[in-house]
Every structure is written in structure tokens, then in C-alpha cells.
């Protein structure tokens, strides 16, 4: 049997899964996606080239087979647009490198309209994802196998790619191939295990990979969770370690808007001012600095992301429900310029300290973070190539996270590019 690795988001999504998939895909034979729709956004940087994917697995830029599984929901126009965008950049897309499950469900115009009318209360992307899953469960949805019988541009374009993908992925595993399974969103957005109702409509946890692709759990070798060195959230819902308020973030201009309004010197002056305010323990400025340095604006929506300190209570919960073998820490470089860093080790709820992540929304809203404080660093980490060459304070920060979570770090990201990836422990990898 081959080695099968699942990659899932350990937080509320946007952890940088695309870059890790891209890095690991080089040694994989097959890359498969199992849940969600074009509410996901994965960004991959290769040299000076930037690729943004919403439906196609991030492994498409490698000469590997990519599978979009039965657990996904498909907007045909978006998928065809992504395919055509890759073709314009010189890629040949056919069934040798991209296949789509005949059992996946199609997002319709009516479902998009319904989502746009009703999804605002929890901050959905308005792309029809929830209504499509609702109709799937109610057994009135439209599957890919039915859609490709239609006589339209998208149906004709997708028809050659449609297969019974459960056979393809099981045969790949059974024949000894290396299979990389790509998650969308994050564990805290899981419909069953997330902060309901502020969740997505699918199961982006490791269990969802089995049902979303048609493989048994005994065929999974390792499960790896992706975590930022801090934490972010898009849309509504409780956020215990949030820096500033949700309203402050919503009213903030995006990075591109700021740069278009200000001169280079003007932006630099604002940036330095934010650094100074952040180091005066101004919470909103701390969060805004993370947003600017981390480019924390949604790949799919462009919305500013809410930012907060690393939440080890939520991380331990995510490790438990996913059965994670190891973790990846991304965006460590974003923490530079902060003199003090915090890690949330416990919550305080109604005056009682707990390490439990509560699923009751009212209880979670009352949770106050209990922090430990660590020294930050000023150094630029983006050119460092080995873990041992990191500044001592950065190493101590990572070692403390490992100690609290009782889980090893396998990969460290110190920038968006492929060569800004440090393998810390390769026994969990291909």
C-alpha cells in the first residue's frame, strides 16, 4: 500500500494549506480534494508566479493527477474559468492531470441567490455552498453526472474530466502510489465540530476526507494539520484571542486600498506608526500589524481577516478531533517587529480556568484568554534556511507551542515561496 497523507486546516481556514500542498506535491503521485467549494482559496507562489485556486487542487501546477472528489460542490462557471486561466498560462488540462467526481454536486444559480439572501447573518461568502449541501442532504440536488448531459459551454468543457473517482484514488493507494489529500477551510469551521452556526457546510476535518473521496480510514498513513503562528478568522463568530474588535476589522481598508491612496513614503510612515502602537500594547494595532505583515485579506473574498494570538486551547482540540500526526506552522515571519508575543494556554469561563474548548456558543462567547507571554524578535526570518539558524527567541516560541500541544512540528513556513519552507522533521512526510 502507498503512503497517504491528509492535509487539513487546524484553525478557521486560511492557514496556508496551498503552499504546503504545493511543497509536498512534488513527491506525490496524486493530489485529491475532498470537501467545500469555491468558498475556499489557496494561493501558491512559484518564483515570481502567483497561482490562486478555488476549486482545482493546488497540485495542478505539478505534472501529477489531481482529483476533485465526491464531497465537493462545484460551480461549473468557476471551475471552467480556473481551467481556462491555467490554459492561458500554458498548462494543458485533461483527464491525465485533472478528474472530477461524477457524484459531486453542482451549485445552481438559485442556490447562489438563496445564499446571498440568507448567508449574511453568519458571514458566508454568498457562493451557494450551504444551499447546495442542503439540497444534497434533502436528496434534491443536481450531481455532476447529470449536469454534463446538458448542452452548454461548461458541461461540454467538463465532460471529458468526469470519472468515478473513488476507483481512481483507491487503485492509486493500493498500487503503492503516494497520495496527498487536500483539505479546504479549517477544523474550527467543521459543520459538526466547529463553532456552529458560524461554520462551513461540510466536514473539512480528516473524517471528511474519507467520506469525501470514498476511501477507508485504514488507508490513511499520516494526518498533518496546518496552523499559523497566530490565528485568523473571516466572517462572524466567537474569537477568544481576537486583537481589536470584529467591527474595527470590518471598517478597515484593505492593504491594496491603502497603498493606492498613500504614497510610498506615506504608507511607510503609517506602517511605522502601527508598529510603534502595537509595541505599546494597543490590541487593535497588534492585530492590524499582523494583518499588514501577513497580507491577511481573503483570497476568495478580499475581506480583511480578524487576527489574534495563537490559541493553544483551540489547537489542542483540533489535534484531538483530527488525530493529527504532526503540525505545520506557517507565517512565523509575520510575528517579527513585535517585542512581546502571547500564547493562549487556557480559557477562563465564569471565573473558572479550563483547557477545554467549549462547543456551546454562549459558553465560548464568555471565554476570556489566559496567556503566557514570550519575548518577540526584530529579525527578518524570510531568508533563513535551517531551524537551528532561527533567532533564539523564535525557536523558543516554536518549542513552547510543541510543548503545550504535545505534537511535533514537521514543517515551518517563513514566507509564501517554495524556498521559504523548512523541514523540521521529515518522518511524517513522503
What residues are labeled active site? 14, 42
Contact 73, 106 (CB under 8 A): yes
What cell numbers appear for 278 in the block?
Answer: 502595537
DSSP 297-322: B-TTT-PBPEEE-EEHHHHHHHHHHH
DSSP E strands: which ranges in 89-143? 98-101, 105-106
Contact 310, 230 (CB under 8 A): yes
Distance CA 119, CA 114 (A): 8
Beta bridge partners of 423: 411
Helix H or strand E encompassing 163? strand 162-163
For residue 115, give the nearest of 133, 94, 138, 90 by alpha carbon. Answer: 133
In terms of DSSP H, where are the helices of 214-336? 246-250, 255-261, 264-278, 283-294, 312-322
Instruction: Burial-class residue 248 by CB neighbours within 10 Å (0-12, 13-18, 19+).
Output: middle
Residue written as cell 510610498? 264
Contact 297, 255 (CB under 8 A): yes
Phi, psi of 329 (to 5 degrees): -105, 120
Distance CA 354, CA 57 (A): 38
**Three-state DSSP class for residue 276:** helix
What cell numbers appear for 147 in the block?
Answer: 449536469
What cell numbers appear for 421 in the block?
Answer: 519552507
Distance CA 228, CA 375 (A): 18
Residue written as cell 480583511? 304
Amino acid at each position: 500500500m502507498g503512503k497517504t497523507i491528509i492535509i487539513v486546516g487546524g484553525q478557521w481556514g486560511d492557514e496556508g494549506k496551498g503552499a504546503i500542498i504545493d511543497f509536498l506535491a512534488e513527491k506525490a503521485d496524486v493530489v485529491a480534494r475532498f470537501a467545500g467549494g469555491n468558498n475556499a482559496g489557496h494561493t501558491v507562489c512559484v518564483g515570481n508566479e502567483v497561482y490562486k485556486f478555488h476549486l482545482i487542487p493546488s497540485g495542478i501546477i505539478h505534472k501529477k493527477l489531481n482529483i476533485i472528489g465526491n464531497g465537493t460542490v462545484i460551480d461549473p462557471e468557476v471551475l471552467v474559468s480556473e481551467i481556462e486561466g491555467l490554459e492561458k498560462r500554458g498548462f494543458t488540462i485533461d483527464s491525465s492531470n485533472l478528474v472530477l467526481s461524477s457524484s459531486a454536486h453542482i451549485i445552481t444559480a438559485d442556490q447562489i441567490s438563496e445564499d446571498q439572501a440568507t448567508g449574511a447573518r453568519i458571514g458566508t461568502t454568498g457562493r451557494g455552498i450551504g444551499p447546495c449541501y442542503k439540497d444534497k442532504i434533502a436528496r434534491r440536488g443536481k450531481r455532476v453526472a447529470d449536469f454534463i448531459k446538458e448542452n452548454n459551454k461548461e458541461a461540454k468543457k467538463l465532460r471529458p474530466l468526469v470519472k468515478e473517482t473513488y476507483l481512481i484514488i483507491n487503485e492509486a493507494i493500493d498500487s503503492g502510489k503516494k497520495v496527498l489529500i487536500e483539505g479546504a477551510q479549517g477544523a474550527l469551521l467543521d459543520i459538526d465540530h466547529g463553532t456552529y452556526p458560524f461554520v462551513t457546510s461540510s466536514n473539512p476535518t480528516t473524517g471528511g476526507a474519507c467520506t469525501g473521496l470514498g476511501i477507508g480510514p485504514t488507508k490513511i498513513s499520516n494526518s498533518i494539520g496546518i496552523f499559523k503562528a497566530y490565528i485568523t478568522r473571516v466572517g462572524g463568530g466567537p474569537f477568544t484571542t481576537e486583537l481589536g474588535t470584529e467591527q474595527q476589522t470590518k471598517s478597515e481598508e484593505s492593504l491594496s486600498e491603502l497603498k493606492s491612496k498613500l504614497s510610498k513614503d506615506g504608507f511607510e510612515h503609517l506602517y511605522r506608526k502601527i508598529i510603534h502602537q502595537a509595541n505599546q500594547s494597543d490590541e487593535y494595532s497588534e492585530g492590524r500589524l499582523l494583518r499588514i505583515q501577513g497580507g491577511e485579506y481573503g483570497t476568495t473574498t478580499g475581506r480583511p481577516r480578524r487576527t489574534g494570538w495563537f490559541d493553544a486551547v483551540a489547537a489542542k482540540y483540533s489535534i484531538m478531533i483530527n488525530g493529527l500526526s504532526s503540525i505545520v506552522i506557517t507565517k512565523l515571519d509575520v510575528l517579527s517587529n513585535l517585542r512581546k508575543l502571547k500564547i493562549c494556554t487556557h480559557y477562563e469561563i465564569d471565573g473558572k480556568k479550563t483547557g477545554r474548548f467549549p462547543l456551546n456558543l454562549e459558553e465560548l462567547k464568555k471565554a476570556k484568554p489566559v496567556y503566557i507571554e514570550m519575548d518577540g524578535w526584530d529579525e527578518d526570518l524570510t531568508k533563513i534556511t535551517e531551524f537551528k539558524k532561527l533567532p533564539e527567541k523564535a525557536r523558543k516560541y516554536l518549542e513552547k507551542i510543541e510543548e503545550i500541544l504535545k505534537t511535533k512540528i514537521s514543517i515551518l513556513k517563513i514566507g509564501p515561496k517554495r524556498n521559504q519552507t523548512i523541514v523540521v522533521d521529515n518522518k511524517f512526510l513522503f
